Structure 1
Amino acid sequence: MRRRGVGVWGTALGMVVLLSACASAEQGTAVAVGPTVGSSLPGSADPSVGGGPGEQPGVDVAAELSEMLPCEILSDEEITALGFDPESATFDDVGLSYDCRYRFPGGARPVLTIHLNWMRGVDQLNLTNYTVEEISVGPLRALRVIDKPAAQHCQISMDLSEQAHVSAVVDYAETLEEACALAEDTAAAVEPVLPRSPS
C-alpha cells in the first residue's frame, strides 16, 4: 500500500469520538443487539462469549493500534470499492483526532472518517444524546451510534480492548440508512486488519 500525502484538517464535524473526553453517567439509549456486520474473516464470534472483545493474552492492542496510520488502513482499491475517492484522503491529528477522512469523487458528500483511538474503549465514549445499538463486526463487539433525533450521521465503533477502539463514521449522507450502510461496509473492510493476536 502506498503512503498518501497528509494534511491537517482541524474541524471536528461533530464526531461522537471527539466527545469521549468528557465522562458522563448517562450513556445514551441502549437497544437490542442487532445482526452481525459482515467481515472477510470466516464466521462471527458471539461477543458475549469468552474474554476481552478481540483482545488476546500477551498482545498490547493499544500499542499496536498507535503504530497504525489511519490513511493506510485500507488500500486505494478498497476505498474506491466503498465509493470514496482515495485521492481525497485527509489526515487529522489535532486534539483528540487521529483519523483519515475521505469524500466521494468530485468532493461530493457524504464524508467517511476512519478514527483510531488507543486511549479509550467504546465503553468510555460519551454517548449522551445518541441512540446506541450493540452489534458485532466479524468477531468484534461494536456499537452503532446515531444522533437522537436521527440524522444523516452513523458511527460504527469497534471494541478492541478496554482502552482502544476504531470507528468508521459517515456524515452528511442523503439518508440515515445510506450513512449506516456505508459505515458498516467500512467497518467490515477495516476489521480484519485491526490488532489482535493469532488464534
Structure 2
Amino acid sequence: MRRRGLGVWGTALGLVVLLSACASAEQGTAVAVGPTVGSSLPGSADPSVGGSPGEQPGVDVAAELSEMLPCEILSDEKITALGFDPESASFDDVGLSYACSYRWPSGGLTLMAIDLNWKRSVDQLDLTNYTSEETSVGSLRALRIVDKPESEHCQMSLALSSQAHVTISVHYAGTAEQACDLAEQVAAAVEPELPRSSG
C-alpha cells in the first residue's frame, strides 16, 4: 500500500512550488500563474485558443483530471521499472501543488514528482527563470523546461487542454540532461494514462 500522508519530501516539494510562486528563484519548479501578455514561448499557442492535439470535443479534461490521484496514475510495477521506489510515494496538496513524489530505492537525493493541474495550461506557466523547448510526448504537446542557468533539475509539462496540464519534474539528478532523460521516461509512461476523449 502506498503512503499518502505528507512526508518530508512532499512537504519540501510543496514549499519549493509555493516559494517559486512568490519570488523569482534560480532553482525550483516552474509554477502556473495567470496569463501573461505577449508570451515569448517558442511556438506557443495563445492561451485563449483552446485545446491541444490530445484534447477532443465533448470531454471535460479538467474535470476528469481533478478526479485523479497523482499517486495512482502509475502502478507500483511501472514506478519500479522507472527506477523509483513505489513505497516512497508521498502525496502533497499544499499550496499550488497536487502531486505525488518518489525517491530512489537507495534513498538518494533524486526526487521525481507527478503534478496535476486542472486550473492552468502550459501557456500560463511563469518561465521567467527557465529555458523551455517545445516538444511532444505521445500525442500531447509538451514543454521541456530547465533552470536558467542549467542545474540538476528538469521538468516536462504536458498540455491536456486550454486549462489543464500535467508536470513531471525531476530534481537532484546530477545534471540537467540526466534529469531531463528521467523526466521524459516518466512522461512517456504517464501520457497514456491521462484523460482524453475516446470519440
Q: Specify the TM-score bucket, using the shorter chain as the normaliser.
A: 0.7 to 0.9
Partners of 2:153 and 2:38 lie apart in 1 by: 21
Partners of 2:110 and 2:88 lie apart in 1 by: 12
Query: Which residue pairs with 2:175 in the alignment?
Result: 175
1:16/1:126 contact within 8 Å kept:
no
1:27/1:126 contact within 8 Å kept:
no
What is the CA distance between 1:24 and its match in structure 2? Answer: 4.3
What is the CA distance between 1:109 and its match in structure 2? Answer: 2.3
Task: Flag structure 1 segments of 5+ consecutive residues without an equivalent.
Answer: 34-50
Secondary structure (helix, strand or coil) at the match of 2:169 reads strand
Partners of 2:153 and 2:194 lie apart in 1 by: 23
What is the CA distance between 1:100 and its match in structure 2? Answer: 0.3
Which 4+ runs in 1 deviate beyond 2 A?
9-17, 21-28, 30-33
Secondary structure (helix, strand or coil) at the match of 2:166 reads strand
Partners of 1:32 and 1:164 lie apart in 2 by: 18
* 1:16 correspondence with 2:29: yes
Following superposition of structure 1 onto structure 2, how do residues 47-196 of structure 1 map, counting pairs within 5 Å? 52-53=51-52, 54-196=54-196
What is the CA distance between 1:26 and its match in structure 2? Answer: 7.3
Partners of 2:143 and 2:157 lie apart in 1 by: 5
What is the CA distance between 1:23 and its match in structure 2? Answer: 5.1
Secondary structure (helix, strand or coil) at the match of 2:16 reads coil
User: Deviations for 1:56-104, whole angstroms, at most 9, x for unmatched residues?
Assistant: 1110000000000000000001000110000000000001110000000
What is the CA distance between 1:110 and its match in structure 2? Answer: 1.0
Secondary structure (helix, strand or coil) at the match of 1:96 reads coil
Secondary structure (helix, strand or coil) at the match of 1:106 reads coil
Aligned AA (1:63): A
1:153/1:179 contact within 8 Å kept:
yes
Q: 1:152 to 1:27 in 2, by over 3 A?
A: farther
2:102/2:113 contact within 8 Å kept:
yes
Q: 1:102 to 1:26 in 2, by over 3 A?
A: farther
* 1:197 correspondence with 2:192: no
Task: Flag structure 2 segments of 5+ consecutive residues without an equivalent.
Answer: 18-27, 45-49
Aligned AA (1:10): T
Partners of 1:16 and 1:124 lie apart in 2 by: 14
Partners of 1:146 and 1:110 lie apart in 2 by: 16
What is the CA distance between 1:4 and its match in structure 2? Answer: 2.2
State the aligned residue count: 178
Query: Which residue pairs with 1:45 in the alignment?
Result: none
Q: TM-score, normalised by structure 2?
A: 0.83
What is the CA distance between 1:107 and its match in structure 2? Answer: 1.5
What is the CA distance between 1:22 and its match in structure 2? Answer: 5.4
Identity of aligned residues (%): 61
Partners of 1:68 and 1:62 lie apart in 2 by: 10
Partners of 2:151 and 2:94 lie apart in 1 by: 26
